[in-house]
C-alpha cells in the first residue's frame, strides 16, 4: 500500500470511494438525507472527480450528532472511543470498530517506517493518553511496527528527562511545543542531551510548527525531527507523515482521499494552491466521513517523491481557516483558561493571557496569587505554577508558560478587563 503506483492507487481509491458512499447512504441518516438533497445516488460516483458532487461534513455536523448520532454500526461493534474537546463544552465523539483500530494501527506503523524508525526502537511516548488520540495512536503504531513503548503520557517534565537519560529511548513522540519545552528544561536542569540522551528520531505533530522550531528541537535534543499530521475525527495521528526526504507529508491515500478547497466557496483550488484540506475516509466502519472539512490550510504536491512513495504530499499545515484564538494549531477560548485558573486553589481572580510567536506560537498566562494564599505557609510558587501548567495542558492540549505575580500587580481596568493580548496580530 505504501508504495502503490499512482494508477493502482487511484483505482483502489475509486473502488473504495464507491463502496463507502453506498455504505454511508445506507447506514447513516445524515448522509442519506444529504445525498438525497444533493441528488446524488451512490451509483452516480463513477470517477474520483465525482467526489466533488458529494456533500461536505463539518465539525458542527459531528457536534450536532452528539453523542452517538453518526455511528454506522451497532454499539456492540464499537471497540474504542476517543473524544476531542469541543468548543461548546461537549466533546466530539469518535468511534472505532475492530477494523478501524486495525487500519489505524497499520497507518501508524507505516508512519513510523516513513519517519525513519526501525523495529527494535524504544519509543518514549509523551503524547497524552486518554481521550486524546495522540497517546494511543503512537502507542499502537509503535507496537505494530515492532518497537517497544514507554507510555509516559504528557507532563511531569522532570520524569520525562530522567527517562530520556536512564531508559535510553531512541524515539521521542510528542507535540513540537513540548519537545521544545523539554529541550529548554533539559538544559536548565543540567542535562547535555547529545551526551546524556540516546534519541535518534522525534515524531512531532498535533500542532503546526516551523523549520526554525525543527532546527531548535533537533539541536536541543540531538535527534532528527519529523512532522506528522492527523485529526481525531480521522482516527487521530497517522493521516500523513513526513518521510526522510522532508519534502512534505505523505497522505496515506489508500485510506484518505484528499481535496483542497477554497475555504469560502468550497470550490476546488488550482493544483498546488493552498486551501482548506478536505478528507473522505475510504474504509471507515464506525463513522464514515464524506468530505470532512478540517479547517486546516495546506497545499497538495502530487509529483513523485524521491523516497519512492506516490502518495501525494501536504506542504506544512499553515494554520486554521477561521478566526478563533488559535495557538499552536489548537483552538483556544479564553473562557477555558479562566475556568482552569478559577479552579486551582491559590490563584486570584486577575490574570492575563498573552499569545506570542517567536519560532512558534506560545501561550503565556500571568496570574495573580490569591492574597490570603500568598501570605500562608503553604504557598509554594513552583508547585502552583506546575499545577496550573498541567491543568491547562489537560484542558487545552498545549503547554503554557505560567508566571505568578503578586496580588495587586496586574493592571486593573474599570470596564471590561482586557485579558487577552495577541502579539502575533502586530506581525500582520
Ligand atoms: Zn517521500
Give the confidence band of 425 by pLDDT, cuts at 50, 70, 90.
low
Range name among 16-30, 56-70, 112-126 with the lowest pLDDT average: 56-70
User: Please, which pLDDT band fits residue 315 given cuts at 50, 70 and 90?
Assistant: confident
Instruction: Say how many Å lie between the CA of residue 310 and the centre of ligand 1.
Output: 8
Distance 269 CA to ligand 1 centre (A): 23
Cα 95 to middle of ligand 1, angstroms: 30
Distance in Å, CA 181 to ligand 1 centroid: 29
**Interval 64-122: pLDDT, tens:** 999 999 999 999 999 999 998 755 568 899 999 999 999 999 999 999 999 999 999 99
Q: Decide if 341 contacts 410 (C-beta within 8 A).
A: no
Burial 104-115 (b: 16+ CB within 10 A, else e): bbbbbbbbbbbb
Q: How far is the CA of 386 from the centre of ligand 1 (A)?
A: 40
Give Cα 193 to chain centroid, integer Å: 26
Mean local confidence (pLDDT), 364-379 = 90
Q: Which CATH number fits domain 93-322: 3.40.50.12780, 1.20.1250.20, 3.40.50.920, 3.90.550.10?
A: 3.40.50.12780
Cα(215) to centroid(ligand 1), Å: 20
| Radius of gyration, CA atoms only, the chain | 22
Residues with Cβ within 8 Å of residue 250, at least 6 apart in sequence: 114, 240, 241, 242, 243, 305, 309, 311, 312, 313
The size of the chain, in residues, is 428
Q: What's the mean per-residue pLDDT of the chain? A: 90
Domain ranges of the chain: 93-322, 327-427
Identify the CA nearest to 173 among candidates 108, 208, 248, 123: 123
Q: Which pLDDT value is given to residue 55? A: 97
Cα 46 to middle of ligand 1, angstroms: 29
pLDDT for 333: 72
| Cα of 220 from ligand 1 centre, angstroms | 25
pTM: 0.77
Buried b (16+ CB within 10 A) or exposed e, 267-285: ebbeeeeebbbbbbbbebb
pLDDT mean over 37-53: 96
Which of 18-22, 203-207, 350-354 is predicted most confidently? 18-22
Give the mean pLDDT of 422-428.
59
pLDDT at 415 over 50: no
Q: What is the pLDDT of residue 378?
A: 87
pLDDT at 211 over 70: yes
Predicted pLDDT of residue 273: 85
Q: What is the pLDDT of residues 385-397, one digit of tens each?
A: 999 999 999 888 8
List 123's β-bridge partners, or say none. 149, 171
CA 237 to centroid of ligand 1, rounded, Å: 18
Region 156-175: mean pLDDT is 96
- How far does residue 245's CA lie from ligand 1's centre (Å)? 6
> At 318, is the pLDDT very low, low, confident or very high (cuts 50, 70, 90)?
low
Tell me which DSSP letter residue 128 carries: P
pLDDT at 294: 92
Average pLDDT of 221-228? 96
Cα(312) to centroid(ligand 1), Å: 9
The reported pLDDT for the residue numbered 416 is 44
**223 Cα: distance to centroid of ligand 1 (angstroms):** 19
Measured in Å, residue 308 CA sits from the centre of ligand 1 at 6
Mean per-residue pLDDT, 114-131:
96
Tell how far the Cα of 101 is from the centroid of ligand 1, in angstroms.
Answer: 25
- Whether 93-322 and 327-427 share one fold: the answer is no
Q: CATH says 327-427 is which class?
A: alpha beta
| Calpha distance 215→41 (Å, rounded) | 50
Question: Band of the pLDDT at 322, cuts 50, 70, 90?
Answer: very low
What pLDDT shows up at residue 321?
Answer: 53
Rounded distance from Cα 246 to ligand 1 centre (Å): 7
Report the C-alpha gap between 365 and 351 in whole angstroms: 7
Residue whose C-alpha is closest to residue 92's, from 231, 223, 210, 251: 231
Q: Given this model, what pLDDT does residue 13 score?
A: 98
- Confirm if 33 and 269 have CB atoms less than 8 A apart: no
Determine what percent of the chain is predicted with pLDDT higher than 90.
Answer: 66
Contact 154, 178 (CB under 8 A): yes
pLDDT digits (tens, 9 = 90+) for 269-314: 988 888 899 999 999 999 999 999 998 888 999 988 999 999 999 9
**Residue 267: which residues within 8 A CB-CB, separation 6 or more?**
261
293-323: b (≥16 Cβ within 10 Å) or e: bbbbbbbbbeeebebebbbbbbebbeebbee
CA 214 – ligand 1 centroid, Å: 18
Average pLDDT over residues 125-136: 94
CA 307–ligand 1 middle distance (angstroms): 4
Other beta carbons within 10 Å of 233? 24
Distance (Å) from CA 116 to ligand 1 centroid? 11
* pLDDT at residue 398 tops 90: no
**In angstroms, what is the span from residue 304 Cα to ligand 1's centroid?**
8
Distance CA 346, CA 372 (A): 8
Between the CA of 311 and the centroid of ligand 1 the distance, in Å, is 8
Amino acid at each position: 500500500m505504501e508504495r502503490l503506483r499512482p494508477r493502482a492507487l487511484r483505482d483502489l481509491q475509486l473502488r473504495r470511494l464507491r463502496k463507502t458512499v453506498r455504505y454511508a447512504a445506507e447506514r447513516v441518516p445524515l448522509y442519506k438525507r444529504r445525498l438525497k438533497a444533493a441528488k446524488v445516488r451512490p451509483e452516480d460516483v463513477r470517477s474520483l472527480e465525482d467526489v466533488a458532487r458529494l456533500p461536505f461534513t463539518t465539525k458542527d455536523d459531528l457536534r450536532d450528532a452528539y453523542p452517538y448520532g453518526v455511528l454506522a454500526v451497532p454499539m456492540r461493534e464499537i471497540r474504542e472511543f476517543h473524544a476531542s474537546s469541543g468548543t461548546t463544552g461537549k466533546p466530539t465523539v469518535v468511534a472505532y470498530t475492530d477494523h478501524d483500530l486495525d487500519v489505524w494501527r497499520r497507518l501508524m506503523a507505516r508512519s513510523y517506517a516513513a519517519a525513519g524508525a526501525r523495529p527494535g526502537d524504544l519509543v518514549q511516548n509523551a503524547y497524552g493518553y486518554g481521550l486524546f488520540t495522540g497517546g494511543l495512536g503512537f502507542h499502537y503504531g509503535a507496537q505494530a511496527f515492532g518497537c517497544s513503548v514507554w507510555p509516559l503520557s504528557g507532563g511531569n517534565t522532570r520524569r520525562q528527562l530522567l527517562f530520556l537519560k536512564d531508559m535510553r529511548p531512541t524515539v521521542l513522540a510528542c507535540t513540537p511545543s513540548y519537545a521544545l519545552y523539554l529541550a529548554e528544561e533539559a538544559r536548565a536542569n543540567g542535562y547535555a542531551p547529545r551526551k546524556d540522551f540516546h534519541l535518534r528520531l522525534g515524531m512531532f505533530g498535533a500542532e503546526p510548527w516551523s523549520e526554525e522550531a525543527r532546527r531548535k528541537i533537533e539541536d536541543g535534543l540531538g535527534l532528527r525531527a519529523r512532522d506528522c499530521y492527523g485529526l481525531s475525527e480521522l482516527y487521530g495521528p497517522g493521516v500523513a507523515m513526513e518521510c526522510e526526504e522532508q519534502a512534505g507529508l505523505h497522505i496515506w491515500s489508500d485510506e484518505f482521499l484528499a481535496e483542497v478547497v477554497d475555504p469560502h466557496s468550497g470550490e476546488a483550488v488550482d493544483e498546488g494552491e493552498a486551501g482548506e484540506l478536505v478528507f473522505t475516509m475510504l474504509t471507515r466502519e464506525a463513522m464514515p466521513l464524506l468530505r470532512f472539512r478540517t479547517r486546516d490550510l495546506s497545499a497538495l504536491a502530487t509529483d513523485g517523491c524521491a523516497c519512492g512513495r506516490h502518495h501525494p504530499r501536504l506542504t506544512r499545515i499553515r494554520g486554521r481557516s477561521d478566526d478563533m484564538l488559535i495557538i499552536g494549531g489548537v483552538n483556544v477560548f479564553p473562557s477555558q483558561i479562566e475556568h482552569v485558573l478559577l479552579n486551582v486553589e491559590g490563584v486570584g481572580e486577575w490574570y492575563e493571557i498573552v499569545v506570542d510567536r517567536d519560532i512558534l506560537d506560545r501561550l503565556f498566562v500571568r496570574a495573580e496569587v490569591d492574597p490570603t494564599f500568598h501570605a500562608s505557609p503553604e504557598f509554594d510558587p513552583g508547585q502552583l505554577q506546575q499545577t496550573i501548567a498541567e491543568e491547562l495542558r489537560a484542558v487545552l492540549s498545549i503547554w503554557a508558560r505560567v508566571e505568578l505575580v503578586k496580588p495587586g500587580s496586574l493592571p486593573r481596568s474599570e470596564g471590561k478587563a482586557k485579558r487577552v493580548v495577541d502579539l502575533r496580530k502586530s506581525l500582520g
